[in-house]
Amino acid sequence: MNRYTPVTEIKGVGEKTAKLFQKLNINNVGDLLAHYPRDYEIYEEPVSIAEAKIGEVCAVYARVLGIPNQKKIRNLVILNVNVRDDSGAMQLTFFNMPFLKKVLMPGGYYLFRGLVQSRGATMIMEQPKLFSLEEYQKQTNRLRPRYALTKGLTNQAVQKAMKQALTFYAFDKEYYPPEIMQKYGLLPYKEALHATHFPVTYEEMLTARKRLVFDEFFGFLLLLRKNKDMTVQMENGYPMFETADTVRFVEQIPFSLTKAQKKVWQEIRDDMGSAGCMNRLIQGDVGSGKTIIAILALLMCAANGYQGALMAPTEVLAVQHYESIMEYTRKFHLIFKPVLLVGSMTAKEKREVYEKIATGEANLIIGTHALIQDKVKYQALALVVTDEQHRFGVRQRETLVEKGENPHVLVMSATPIPRTLAIILYGDLHISVIDELPANRLPIKNCVVNTSYRDKAYEFIAKEVAQGRQAYVICPQVEEGELEDVENVVEYTEKLRAALPASIQIAYLHGKLRPADKNKIMEEFAAHNIDVLVSTTVIEVGINVPNSTVMMVENAERFGLAQLHQLRGRVGRGEHQSYCIFISSKENKETMERLQILNKSNDGFFIASEDLKLRGPGDMFGIRQSGEFAFRVGDIYTDATILQQAAEAVEQLLVEDSGLEKSENEGIRRQLQQLSVWQEELGRTL
């Protein structure tokens, strides 16, 4: 077996399972092996019922009291079972498992494992797993991988397929030379992969993970260096000077630029007018006002008779940029002739736009990856702006740049990256920072609460809506099934419709909808035809609807702090007081401590650094700081040390063998070729 072998060649994987795998983007054995566990479950020692803590997953060994009580509500069969041990009692509820009625004998002892919750004064578990004591003891204290799943595919099935794949996979020869392996304490790839999926101990898993993270960073940085010689400054092929257009625009917009915005705008003007080509990154926290700076740069470009392009990672965001620039253009009679280019447009629409781009009729092109398709030929592309840069692969930015002849480059990111890391990750860019928020902003009011607060939160949302405001509610998953015990958008929307007054318009949004539908819903929300939007994190980046004042996040414990901060950034974008409600369904100390950081601060840089302190490298595949670089395993914050090591290794390698011609580096050279494919993948968007 190699990475291209279809999954159907794995023993036990038929057409049906293959279809399910496909839903998870797993087509071949390579994809499967890279489907790393989301996290690991440890079957801990059983506790007595008195010791069981509400909000935690526990195992109890208890006796069944009386005959289980079964009832049917519509098509749901509910089985209630009372159990007790010497220390206390508990009520268990099973759904659609009628056969258990015969299995659970009154007076019999069983081991039940599940999330302990409370209903009034009663301790309950819903849908616990059932074991005999011997069965459970065999598995106690071992790490068990938990994979991202889809409806119909069990964790068990993924584990089985994974074991087979690991056994029959023909691993390449180790590709690092021994010096690198030794110097950085790397496990051989084969062992690392085994130990990632089926570690025996926690330590073993950590070492395995380090290898995978190192690989990812090493490959990323090597490609970055190979793609571009960063020491050469390109000559400015499109020298620009400031015209009355930008001056007038700055005076016309209904707010004045902050000091930080003015400074960055000055840096950009200097760059574009200088002898060299601009290569600049604007870092600014969510809501700091990066868009207006981009528009100014694009306006200066258009005023000098050139074309500019603005690329966003999602259609929703591209459309939003287009709409707001259109509005500015109409209102202030700007010289923009903008076009929108996104994947969901019809072939005919696209052709018309291509034409306008090629002839130069359009001087501003706004869109998604559609901007870098082969068919798009620019007339005089002089400025390339990428918004939310971290969502793109470097390769994609480069492709857009290659569409012109050394155009100026401006990239924007809300990711708070410490300077040392930024230099590694964006080695070729100058960095500008917008380090203040517009003055009209009221600080967002935050609260971190448990699920019992939900009804109050709904009341609060209803009140805000009654006052003309709008709200977001975020759930971690699209529909039931992928994760256990987690709210999903589709069902949640139903629940919310029942809980809120009928006059409130509620809609939902998630990544699996067709792009055109997503755009439509976002437009409706922006136009305030929708009051409450239930969504996954698709709205995490860039969305700007300043009338929204409430952000409620369900299962907040599932998200990285940086991601929660991005989500929070969707409110507090206008003059109204805004609120953020983080609902946590886990109440253990660490979760609460982590979420309290958000409660204390609205500052992205501070949050990222605190998060780093609290999170050991233990939370690895589970919580992701997504919203930053789309690394699969690595996390630039928690793995900052590994990132630095990888950077050092790449540097050393290229100093000694810049062409990778030495025989000991042959493995790396081979790997690099495969990485180019992987790079494309990095650019995957929502």
Give me the 249-268 binding string for Mg ion, x by CB under 5 A, dash otherwise: --------------------
Rounded to whole angstroms, how far apart are CA atoms 100 and 679? 49
What's the min distance (Å) between Cβ of 317 and Mg ion? 8
* Residue span binding Mg ion (CB under 5 A) among the ranges 217-225, 427-435, 446-454, 534-542: 534-542
Judged by CB under 6 A, the residue of 255, 352, 423, 527 near ligand ADP is: 255
Residue nearest to ligand ADP (CB): 289
Does residue 284 bind ligand ADP (CB under 6 A)?
A: yes
Q: How far is the CB of 572 from ligand ADP (least distance, A)?
A: 9
| Token representation of residue 361 | 């009729």
Torsion of CA 432, 435, 437, 439, to 10 degrees: -110
Interface of this chain with ligand ADP, residues 538 to 577, rule: CB under 6 A: 544, 546, 573
Min CB(532)–Mg ion separation in Å: 23
Q: Name the minimum Å distance from CB 321 to ligand ADP.
A: 9
141 touches 59 (CB < 8 A)? no
Residue 462 binds to ligand ADP (criterion: CB under 6 A): no
| Stretch in the footprint of ligand ADP (CB under 6 A) among 50-58, 196-204, 280-288, 397-405 | 280-288
Report what 386 binds from ligand ADP, Mg ion, none; CB cut-off 5-8 Å by kind. Answer: none
| Residues 301 and 308 sit within 8 Å (Cβ to Cβ) | yes
Site residues (CB under 6 A) for ligand ADP, limited to 396-425: 414
The C-alpha atoms of residue 530 and residue 470 are separated, in whole angstroms, by: 8
Q: Which is nearer to Mg ion, 286 or 357 (CB)?
A: 286
| Residue 438 contacts which entry, ligand ADP, Mg ion, none (Cβ below 5-8 A, type-dependent) | ligand ADP
Q: Which two tokens stand for residue 388?
A: 């939310």
- Check binding of 542 to Mg ion (CB under 5 A): yes
Minimum distance from residue 545 beta carbon to Mg ion (Å):
12
Residue 261's binding partner out of Mg ion, ligand ADP, none, with CB under 5 to 8 Å set by partner kind:
ligand ADP
Tell me how far apart the alpha carbons of residues 43 and 502 are, in angstroms, rounded to a whole number.
45
Paired strand residues for 283: 413, 433
CB of 256 to ligand ADP, least distance (A): 6
| Beta carbon nearer to ligand ADP, 125 or 260 | 260
Binding residues for ligand ADP restricted to 570-609, rule: CB under 6 A: 573
Q: Are 557 and 483 in contact, with CB atoms under 8 Å apart?
A: no
Stretch that binds ligand ADP, among 242-250, 289-297, 501-509, 515-523 (CB under 6 A): 289-297
Query: Which CB atom, from 388 or from 398, has the smaller least distance to ligand ADP?
Result: 388
Single out the residue of 28, 82, 164, 261 in contact with ligand ADP (rule: CB under 6 A): 261
**Contact stretch for Mg ion (CB under 5 A) within 215-223, 233-241, 403-411, 542-550:** 542-550
440 binds ligand ADP (CB under 6 A): yes
Q: Which is nearer to ligand ADP, 157 or 257 (CB)?
A: 257
Residue whose structure tokens are 């736009």? 353
| Torsion of the alpha carbons at 36, 41, 42 and 44, rounded to the nearest 10 | 180
Closest CB to ligand ADP among 257 and 447? 257
Contact between 286 and ligand ADP per CB under 6 A: yes
- Chain-centre distance for alpha carbon 525: 22
Q: What single string gives the DSSP state of each residue in 594-644?
A: HHHHHHH---HHHHHHHHHHH--TTS-SSS---SS---SS--TTTTHHHHH
Of all residues in the chain, what percent are helix, strand and coil, respectively (each to 5)? 40, 20, 40
Which tokens go with 342?
């996104």
Nearest CA to 543 among 610, 627, 461, 625?
Answer: 627
State the CB neighbour count (10 A cutoff) for residue 540.
25
- Report the C-alpha gap between 125 and 349 in whole angstroms: 55
Task: Give residue number: closest CB to Mg ion.
Answer: 542
What is the sign of the dihedral through the CA atoms of 303, 308, 312 and 318?
A: positive
Residue 365 corresponds to which tokens in the numbers above? 């092109």
Report strand pairing: 364-367 vs 307-311.
parallel
Measured distance CA(335)–CA(338) in Å, rounded: 9
In the complex, minimum distance from the CB of residue 390 to ligand ADP, in angstroms, rounded to a whole number: 13
| Residue placing its CB nearer to ligand ADP in the complex, 179 or 575 | 575
Which residue lies nearer to ligand ADP by CB, 511 or 546? 546
Give residue 430's identity as a one-letter amino acid code. Answer: H
- The residue count for binding Mg ion (CB under 5 A) is 1
Q: Which stretch binds ligand ADP (CB under 6 A): 169-177, 218-226, 257-265, 299-307?
A: 257-265
Are 299 and 336 spatial neighbours (Cβ–Cβ below 8 Å)? yes
Nearer to ligand ADP, 37 or 438 (CB): 438
C-alpha separations of 420 from 282, 315, 513, 571, 637 in Å = 16, 32, 39, 30, 12
Which of residues 194 and 573 has its CB atom nearest to ligand ADP in the complex? 573
**Minimum distance from residue 523 beta carbon to ligand ADP (Å):** 16
Q: Which is nearer to Mg ion, 433 or 457 (CB)?
A: 433
Q: Which of residues 157-216 bind ligand ADP (CB under 6 A)?
A: none
Closest CB to ligand ADP among residues 292, 340: 292
Q: Which tokens go with 278?
A: 């601009």
Closer by beta carbon to Mg ion, 221 or else 571: 571
Pick from 686, 668, 685, 684: nearest CA to 221: 668
Going by their DSSP bridges, the two strands 445-450 and 579-584 should be labelled as parallel
Is residue 148 within 8 A of residue 4, CB to CB? The reply is no
Q: Which is nearer to ligand ADP, 78 or 250 (CB)?
A: 250
List all residues 6 or more positions away from 294 whose beta carbon is below 8 Å from its beta carbon. Answer: 310, 385, 387, 410, 412
Please pick, from the candidates 78, 89, 206, 257, the single residue that binds ligand ADP as defined by CB under 6 A.
Answer: 257
| Site residues for Mg ion per CB under 5 A | 542
| Site residues for ligand ADP per CB under 6 A | 255, 257-258, 261, 284, 286-292, 414, 438, 440, 544, 546, 573
